[in-house]
């Protein structure tokens, strides 16, 4: 078996002999995706991707070349092409390879050693159980639509001419389902999601229950009068809001003028209930890794601390521009890509109250389980408008289903008006890797029917 770490080391040594900075990455991954419905497998695909990418930096000029052909002649041709491309590229003084730093050796628990022994039949059986559990939830659930399973095993080998060399393995699994519910003329869908580094942690019953509850919450929903009221967001909806906020908290967004938070560093921008983190070293985090896409140690970065905007996310390039150090947020989805600034495990630090306790403290408001972006959520302007579905809250109790309403606020106001954060942190693999709890936001304008 080829020693891929030795191979990337050898490549950067040869390329650096041309008087340039060099980096080589090999990513070897296997993916499975299964779609299931009405008692049968509708689609099953399995794919393997293995490739080499070489980045060369010559006086700030960058060349990049990649290949999936690992013959010695083609490997040499690939790094030579990167050298040639760098020679004719436009220079950028901030383009440079990072200085090596020690990589902590703590076990992030991101690789399931038993994963390769999980059979395809076991994966199909998981979907079979999800579908059955969805249909068993309530007679108003007519079907389980898009019962989907996916997984990936990834092996990463990275080296550069500054002396860095490292490797890691990661497994990830996910499954989701849409529950379709009907009552009379009303029909709605709800989604349930599960995700983990470990196959055994996917729970078909909880995925099915979440999908069914999400659908049934809004079934038969009607609009309510226009008013300003508290809104309690379920974790799936909180994740969508956090994903947009995250786009505004990168150094690249700041440098390009694409964030509603420009000029706010060091200021109090949220309630003291709000602490936002990006943690590439979270144990069993689906986006965790010992080092990022350019060999910088991953880290836990506190972006907002009890309401104060303290940090933004950096890769080496954006950090050089601001005379800062990288937070280890250079992401690399495949060997075909140069490193790009992005999220790892992005989350709102959970509180101590249960969702039931948060709902129980609302006199009149709405519990939102699904949103539809009507006006959109804009990380540049901070404008926030969305259609909402869920249940009305009256005297701390969930009552009638609600639909056909619009929530209007701004992201600055939303951050300031978060009055409670739940203890139920959920992994939601959308818009990156978001972990989100239930939250309560006060003083939201709800557009419904006029009295």
Tell me the angle at which helices 204-218 and 120-135 cross, rounded to the nearest 10 degrees.
Answer: 30
**pLDDT for res 432:** 66
Alpha carbon distance 358, 19 (integer Å): 61
Domains of the chain in sequence order? 4-211 (3.30.2290.10), 216-242+350-447 (no CATH)
Arithmetic mean of pLDDT, 360-378:
87
Q: In this model, does residue 9 exceed pLDDT 60?
A: yes
Residue 94 pLDDT > 90? yes
For 100-114, the pLDDT digits (tens) are: 999 999 999 999 999
Cβ atoms 131, 193 nearer than 8 A: no
Helical (H) or strand (E) element with 67: strand 61-67
Question: By mean pLDDT, which of 311-320, 357-366, 379-388 is the weakest?
Answer: 379-388
The rounded distance, in Å, linking the Cα atoms of 427 and 372 is 20
Q: Which of 61, 58, 54 is nearest to 18 (CA)?
A: 58
Q: CB–CB of 439/350 below 8 Å?
A: no
Average of per-residue pLDDT values in the chain = 95
pLDDT tens column, 280-298:
999 999 999 999 999 999 9
Contact 46, 32 (CB under 8 A): yes
Give the pLDDT band of residue 387 (cuts 50, 70, 90): very high
The DSSP code for 200 is G
Residues 6+ apart with CB under 8 A from 301: 277, 278, 279, 311, 313, 327, 329
**φ/ψ of residue 184, rounded to 5:** 65, -125
**Which DSSP helix (H) or strand (E) runs through 443?**
strand 439-447
pLDDT at 51 (0 to 100): 97
- Give pLDDT, residue 185: 86
pLDDT digits (tens, 9 = 90+) for 394-408: 999 999 999 989 999
């Amino acid at each position: 078996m080829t020693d891929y770490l030795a191979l990337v080391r050898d490549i950067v040594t040869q390329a650096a002999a041309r008087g340039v900075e060099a980096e080589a990455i090999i990513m070897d991954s296997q993916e499975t995706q299964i779609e299931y419905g009405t008692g049968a497998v509708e689609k099953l695909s399995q794919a393997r991707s293995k490739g080499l990418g070489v980045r060369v930096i010559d006086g700030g000029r960058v060349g990049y070349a990649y290949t999936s052909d690992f013959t010695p002649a083609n490997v040499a041709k690939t790094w030579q092409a990167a050298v040639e491309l760098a020679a004719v590229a436009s220079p950028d003084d901030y383009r440079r390879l990072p200085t090596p730093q020690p990589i902590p050796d703590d076990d992030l628990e991101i690789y399931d050693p038993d994963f390769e022994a999980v059979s395809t039949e076991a994966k199909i059986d998981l979907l079979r159980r999800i579908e059955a559990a969805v249909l068993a939830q309530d007679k108003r659930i007519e079907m389980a639509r898009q019962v989907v399973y996916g997984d990936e095993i990834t092996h990463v080998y990275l080296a550069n001419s500054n002396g860095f060399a490292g490797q890691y393995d990661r497994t990830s699994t996910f499954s989701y389902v849409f529950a379709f519910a009907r009552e009379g003329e009303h029909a709605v869908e709800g989604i349930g999601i599960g995700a983990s580094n470990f196959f055994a942690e996917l729970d078909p019953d909880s995925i099915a229950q979440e999908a069914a509850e999400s659908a049934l919450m809004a079934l038969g929903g009607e609009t309510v009068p226009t008013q300003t009221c508290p809104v309690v967001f379920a974790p799936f909806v909180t994740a969508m809001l956090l994903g947009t906020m995250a786009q505004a908290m990168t150094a690249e967004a700041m440098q390009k003028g694409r964030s509603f938070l420009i000029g706010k560093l060091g200021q109090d921008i949220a309630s003291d209930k709000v602490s936002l983190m990006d943690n590439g070293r979270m144990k069993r985090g689906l986006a965790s890794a010992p080092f990022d896409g350019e060999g910088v140690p991953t880290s836990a970065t506190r972006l907002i601390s009890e309401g104060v905007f303290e940090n933004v996310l950096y890769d080496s390039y954006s950090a050089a521009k601001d005379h800062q150090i990288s937070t280890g947020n250079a992401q690399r989805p495949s060997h075909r890509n140069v490193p790009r600034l992005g999220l790892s495990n992005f989350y709102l630090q959970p509180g101590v109250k249960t969702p039931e306790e948060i709902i129980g403290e609302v006199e009149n408001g709405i519990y939102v389980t699904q949103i539809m972006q009507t006006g959109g959520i804009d990380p540049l302007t901070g404008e926030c408008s969305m259609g909402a579905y869920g249940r009305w809250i009256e005297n701390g109790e969930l009552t009638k289903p609600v639909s056909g309403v619009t929530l209007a606020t701004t992201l600055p106001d939303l951050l300031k008006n978060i009055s409670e954060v739940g203890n139920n942190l959920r992994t939601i693999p959308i818009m990156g890797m978001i972990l989100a709890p239930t939250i309560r936001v006060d003083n939201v304008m709800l557009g419904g029917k006029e009295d």
